[in-house]
Structures are given as structure tokens and as C-alpha cells.
Amino acid sequence: MRLTLVLLSSLLLVNPTPASPAPSAEPTTAPLVQAQPDLVRAGEAFLDFARGGAPDQHLLRHPVDLHLGGRLVHTIPGWRAVHRNSYGYLCPTSRSYAAYTCPFSPVRVLLRHRGPITVTTRAPEHPCVHDRTFAGWRSHTVTLAPTGTTSCLDYFAVELALSDDGRLEAVNLLAAEP
């Protein structure tokens, strides 16, 4: 037995490279590709928040840029983003937007609309929306708009832009005008 150990030891000294391990029965996996955030769930959580529900801490607890018609108007600090009132009182320097006067609030628009809201990953598509949308310059977007509304007088859209990990980065309020 001692001779066997000496022989094995001397073989290791001659060939210090260990033998390759036996093939594993476990399948190997490629690195995981990060999945897109659940956009519809984020849109529904924001709608619930706007209508009085508890804030989704993962979605809201960081700075959020507020846009009006595609133009940056204000940035909410992270510690304020979980408060509904932080999303209100937007007013561009012109004091009006789409034939409406200040103030504007994406949260208030969603709260006041009593009908159903469609949550979709498609960009706002209405012939009376003439402003810049997040589509094309933001990677992960979701749109909240009244279901079935076709009039230029009552259509609006609230776009949400999310980060790769599903956190809200920006909100864009779009109003229609003839």
C-alpha cells in the first residue's frame, strides 16, 4: 500500500496538471440575460397609486423626471416620489399646454378620470396628440390612457419610463388638442 502511494505521488510530480473532471450530469447554463421589467404591472401599480392606493416602494423610491408634452418640467427627489402631491402643479413657462392652463398633474388626471384606463406597452396613438412621446428614446415604456376615448377634447395619456430593473424614471403627461 505504501508503494502505491509513493507511485501515485511521483506521478503527480511528473505531471502536475490535474486530470480534467469527469463530465457533469448537470446542464450548463449561459449567463442570464436581464429580463425587461414587468411594464404592465408597473403601469397598474402607478394607476393604483394615483387613485389612492399605497405606493409601490420599488417603483417609486428614487428621483422621477416629470415631462409635460415631452418637455422636462421638474424632477421629484427620491424621498418625495412616494407622495401623490409631488406629481402635481406642473406648469411650463408659457403657463399653458394643449389649450389648457396650469397647473397640470398626471396623478390628478388619472384620479379624475372615472372610466376604465388601458395600460399598454404601445406608444400613445391618437390623431390629436402632437407632442413628443417617450417611444423611440426610452427603452422601457408603458402608456396609461382612457379606454375607448376618441375625442380630441377628452383624450389624455400618461407615459411611464422605467429603468432596466423596473424603477420609475420619468412620467410624461400628454393632452390632446384639435
pLDDT in tens, 4-27: 333 333 333 344 444 444 444 443
Task: State the pLDDT at residue 135.
Answer: 80
102 in a domain, yes or no? yes
152 in a domain, yes or no? yes
HSE at residue 151, side-chain half, CA atoms within 13 A, is 2
Average pLDDT in the 51-72 region? 91
17 in a domain, yes or no? no
> Rounded to whole angstroms, how far apart are CA atoms 104 and 51?
16
List of residues 6+ apart from 67 with CB closer than 8 A:
73, 159, 170, 171, 172, 173
Check the CA dihedral 67-55-126-152 and report its sign. Answer: negative
Contact present, 74 and 90 (Cβ < 8 Å): yes
Check the CA dihedral 49-72-100-161 and report its sign. Answer: negative
Confidence of residue 132 (pLDDT cuts 50, 70, 90): confident
pLDDT at 29 over 70: no
134 in a domain, yes or no? yes
pTM value is 0.75
What 3-state DSSP class applies to 49?
helix
Total domains, the chain: 1
Confidence of residue 159 (pLDDT cuts 50, 70, 90): very high
Pick 52 or 130 by higher pLDDT.
52
140 in a domain, yes or no? yes
List of residues 6+ apart from 60 with CB closer than 8 A:
49, 81, 82, 168
- Write phi, then psi, for 30 (nearest 5 degrees): -75, 160
15 in a domain, yes or no? no
Average pLDDT in the 143-160 region? 85
25 in a domain, yes or no? no
List of residues 6+ apart from 98 with CB closer than 8 A:
69, 131, 175, 176, 177
20 in a domain, yes or no? no
**Parent domain of 100:** 39-175
> Rounded to whole angstroms, how far apart are CA atoms 123 and 60?
22
